[in-house]
Amino acid sequence: MSQEEMSSEVLAAAGAGDELYLLFIDYDEGNIASATGDVFTLPAHQTTGTAPRRVLETSDSLRCMWASPQGSVWTGSADGTVATTARVAWPPPTGAVRYRTEAGSRPWSATDLPVLRSTRLPPNITVLWGLSDDDVYAGTYGGHIYHWDGSAWIQQYEGPGDGDRTIRAFAGGPGDVYAVGEMQTLLHFDGTGWRALSVPAPVDLSENLTGICRGEGKDMLIAASGALSRLLQGSASAGFVEFGRYEVPLLGMDKLNDRILFAADEGAAELIGRDVQMIRTSFQAVTIWIAGDRVYFVPPDQPPPSVIEYAPYSDGWPWTILEF
């Protein structure tokens, strides 16, 4: 296969210590399902043109990445494997999958999640998130949820199994964790078990819940994209109501200090009061990642592999396109 017939994209960004981590995938042109992933790093406050350094090389289908509060990096694959730089004692993955720590990196450890109870097949991991290296959640295609408690991975929740209920984001605190996803999927964990919560009308199964973060007090804010672009507000105990409707498509959502930001198709948007306003329209974006004090937006059309960096606390111009 010639180099011209290969494609490469950036899928995710995460900040750990003084490093920016980037998840790259490579695949045969026109066959993104075949993509394998590697992890690269840059200095967190890099200059334009700095070449990323590979720290994890795999033959696996990496699809998501997350950095813990302790500064460890975690990845998940479509074939049910999790890897991390945290200090863990795990059995290695089965089969022919390859994980290799590159020189100069903290050691990576990888393992397979237990097979799904319903199908006995490996889970397709779509998102990782947690409160510490000993309290990590994995959401999957089909709406299943796994949990790592520092000693073992277990399947905590059995989803319906179809891709329309795929988990896209987590948020919350100890004994108060939320998961959101496709087809108005909204779940809550109270420390004992997961249960489904109601989404305020209208019932629209084309509506996807694309992000969640804590708003004021104990309330959560949820971004929804479908026939309507709207925000939902509430909690498991009080229920959820509609916070507002917008013309801006809310494709991804994250919180930087006290600012709530969105990937909004034609750029970046921010919640100001009760309104969602565009703050940059010179690029397209489908996902958003917070890494330290900077924000990274992932464009839909790559090559070249790229992210848009927003550094609001820097002394110079805050917007930079990083191409690799």
Judge whether 179 lies within some domain. no
Contact (CB, 8 A) for 221 and 233: yes
Rg (CA), the chain: 19
Residue 103 lies in a domain: yes
pLDDT reported for residue 218: 82
| 8 A C-beta contact, residue 211 and residue 250 | yes
| Domain contains 173 | no
The full DSSP string for 174-223 is TTEEEEEETTTEEEEE-SS-EEE-PPPSSP-TT-EEEEEEE-STT-EEEE
Tell me whether residue 105 is in a domain. yes
Instruction: Answer whether residue 20 is part of any domain.
Output: yes
Q: Which domain holds residue 39?
A: 1-112
Residue 34 lies in a domain: yes
The answer to pTM > 0.75 is yes
Residue type, 79: D
pLDDT for the residue numbered 3: 47
pLDDT score for 5: 79
Residue 238 forms part of a structural domain = no
Reading the chain (324 residues) residue by residue, the pLDDT tens digits are: 344 478 899 999 999 988 999 999 999 887 888 899 999 999 987 666 788 999 999 999 999 999 999 999 999 999 999 999 999 999 999 988 999 999 888 999 999 999 999 999 999 999 999 999 999 999 999 999 999 999 999 999 999 987 678 999 999 999 999 999 999 999 999 999 999 999 999 888 889 999 999 987 789 999 999 888 999 999 999 999 999 999 999 999 999 999 999 999 899 999 999 999 999 999 999 999 999 999 999 999 888 999 999 999 988 899 999 998
How many structural domains are present in the chain? 1
Establish if 60 belongs to a structural domain.
Answer: yes
